[in-house]
Amino acid sequence: MQSARNKPSAPRRTIPTELLQALRQRFGERFSTARAVLDQHGRDESPFEATPPDGVVFAATTDEVAEAVRLCGQHRVPIIAFGAGSSIEGHVLAVQGGITIDLSQMNKVLMVNSEDLTATVEAGVTRKQLNAAIKDTGLFFPIDPGADACLGGMAATRASGTNAVRYGTMRENVLGLTVVTADGKIIRTARRARKSSAGYDLTRIFVGSEGTLGIITEVTVRLYPQPEAVSAAVCSFPEVGNAVHTVIQTIQVGVPVARAELLDALTVRAVNRHSKTTLKEQPMLFLEFHGTPSAVREQAETVQEIARENGGEDFEWAVHPEDRTRLWNARHKAFHACIQLRPGARAFTTDACVPISRLADCIRETIEDTRTSSLPCPIFGHVGDGNFHCVIVADPNNAAEMQEAERLNQRVMQRALAMDGTCTGEHGVGMHKIPLLKEEFGDDAVDLMRRLKMAWDPLNILNPGKVVVP
């Protein structure tokens, strides 16, 4: 299905044969134009139709990325960085054709500094790979988007996850980057020191630029000491609002909650159906606390009291890893269980983030709005941040359903903007939130972003058609 939503802002550009020849000559077997390879690089986890590039370079070093960028630049051909392909807004789709640079072979952990709590990795290293590599140091890297994404992609999309309420997102945890610019130069945004006050904070600009300002080839991140003790708690609530208030009050009293996740009743039903469990089909809150053994016990008790005052029932908490995993099982399985509500379907995952005082209203209105739809729309979210996802499950072969899903998605985004929130809390702009940026920030602010893009990438070769359009 080719819908308006998937239509590129500009046509595919012509790829000169000389460029393909030059790339083949330079990269040999690591340059591919095989159909299967192109198709694999033309999609991510978004519901959009595959839009393959014209060739794929499997880069092994930063210098190779720079060379490929320079070659493409000579012919004004688009270059799209590709890591694990787990983005959900069509970030990696080659909407104007061009060459995809696959960074998955750049998968070395370059340096782990357990003394100053940093690690430097190549862009293709995945978050699980990094955590496995540092397991014995007593440290961990906390950012955990749903997929086993690679650090380059996580930095490029400013990813976050369930730990953000305590440890922040990629925005707070990337300390420095190696980036290939549009003219094929290699820059380092910071030295190894944690704090770089030399010049502008370029790190933060490249983090979240979705491959449109430069190609990230190395990432230095902050690591954290593994907590001495971890406790987990779950609790059911009659309404979403009660669960949200419990979290607000918890944060208010200074309990350093590490994770605070909410599932709505429909998601709990999906989990029950998927995992043959018998959880009460009511909104559920999942919490985790990190600290000393005595502190986490104290925290769980404080929260239990707050939850009770808010009508919470069946409060359970656990400290042993296997018991915690059992308690959190429903949360871990939520996304998969939701998709399985309709086998073969694809998911539109909304990403509204609102001030936490509006969160309960926003979720309630979304539930009311989606109830009349024929599509199942389970909701879960990172309550501590005001961010929630509505997983709209639709059949990709049914045009009417896909349109309906997009309509619901747009309404969630509009609702978030009306509540002083954002259309995207953690997934990014990608292809179809471009018009929403103007509504969120106004024409002048978006124009400034566009001018910045043109100043750094005057030929518009870096992932064109994403974030801002000329």
Task: Scan residues 122-161 and list those touching another protein (CB under 8 A).
Answer: 138-139, 157-158, 160
Q: What x-and-dash track marks residues 303-342 binding another protein by CB under 8 A?
A: ----------------------------------------
Answer yes or no whether residue 295 interacts with another protein by CB under 8 A.
Answer: yes
Shortest Å distance, C-beta 427 to another protein: 7
Distance CA 70, CA 79 (A): 10
Shortest Å distance, C-beta 127 to another protein: 17
Distance CA 96, CA 244 (A): 43
Helix (H) or strand (E) holding 235: strand 229-236
Shortest Å distance, C-beta 46 to another protein: 15
Beta carbons of 363 and 379 less than 8 angstroms apart? yes
Collect all residues with Cβ–Cβ distance below 8 Å to 299 and sequence separation of at least 6. Answer: 231, 255, 256, 257, 289, 291
Of 23-31, 143-151, 288-296, 402-410, the window that binds another protein (rule: CB under 8 A) is 288-296
Q: Give the footprint of another protein on residues 37-56 (CB under 8 A).
A: none
Answer yes or no whether residue 171 interacts with another protein by CB under 8 A.
Answer: yes
In the bound state with another protein, the residue whose beta carbon lies nearer, of 294 and 325, is: 294
Number of residues that bind another protein (CB under 8 A): 91
In the bound state with another protein, the residue whose beta carbon lies nearer, of 51 and 250, is: 250
Nearest by Cα to 456 from 199, 179, 190: 179
Answer yes or no whether residue 435 interacts with another protein by CB under 8 A.
Answer: no
Q: What x-and-dash track marks residues 371-400 binding another protein by CB under 8 A?
A: -------------xxxx-------------
Q: Considering only residues 290, 324, 331, 346, which one is a binding residue for another protein as defined by CB under 8 A?
A: 290
Shortest Å distance, C-beta 279 to another protein: 28
Q: Considering only residues 16, 355, 435, 470, which one is a binding residue for another protein as defined by CB under 8 A?
A: 355
Beta carbons of 91 and 210 less than 8 angstroms apart? yes
In the bound state with another protein, the residue whose beta carbon lies nearer, of 355 and 470, is: 355
Shortest Å distance, C-beta 10 to another protein: 19
Nearest by Cα to 430 from 125, 41, 9: 9
Q: Tell me the three state secondary structure of residue 349.
A: strand
Compute CA distances 112 → 148, 151, 153, 243, 439, whole Å. Answer: 20, 14, 20, 39, 42
In the bound state with another protein, the residue whose beta carbon lies nearer, of 50 and 417, is: 417
Shortest Å distance, C-beta 184 to another protein: 10
Q: Which residue has the tokens 């688009």?
A: 78
Nearest by Cα to 322 from 383, 232, 457: 232
Q: What are the CB-based long-range contacts (under 8 Å, 24+) for 300-308?
A: 300/231, 300/233, 302/250, 302/253, 302/255, 303/233, 303/246, 303/250, 303/255, 303/257, 304/233, 304/235, 306/246, 306/249, 306/250, 306/253, 307/235, 307/237, 307/246
Q: Can you give the length of the chain in residues?
A: 470
Sheet holding 174-180, edge to edge: 109-113, 118-122, 215-222, 174-180, 186-188
In the bound state with another protein, the residue whose beta carbon lies nearer, of 175 and 266, is: 175
Shortest Å distance, C-beta 113 to another protein: 7
Of 41-49, 124-132, 342-350, 446-454, the window that binds another protein (rule: CB under 8 A) is 446-454
Q: Considering only residues 41, 166, 389, 427, which one is a binding residue for another protein as defined by CB under 8 A?
A: 427
Shortest Å distance, C-beta 7 to another protein: 21
Nearest by Cα to 95 from 8, 16, 14, 33: 8
Alpha-helical runs (H) found in 276-398? 293-309, 321-339, 356-371
Q: Which residue has the tokens 């969630």?
A: 412
Shortest Å distance, C-beta 392 to another protein: 20
In the bound state with another protein, the residue whose beta carbon lies nearer, of 243 and 330, is: 243
Q: Give the footprint of another protein on residues 189-228 (CB under 8 A).
A: 191-202, 204-205, 207-209, 213, 225-228
Shortest Å distance, C-beta 317 to another protein: 17
Q: Give the footprint of another protein on residues 239-278 (CB under 8 A).
A: 248, 251-254, 256
Q: Give the footprint of another protein on residues 57-116 (CB under 8 A).
A: 113-116
Beta carbons of 84 and 153 less than 8 angstroms apart? yes
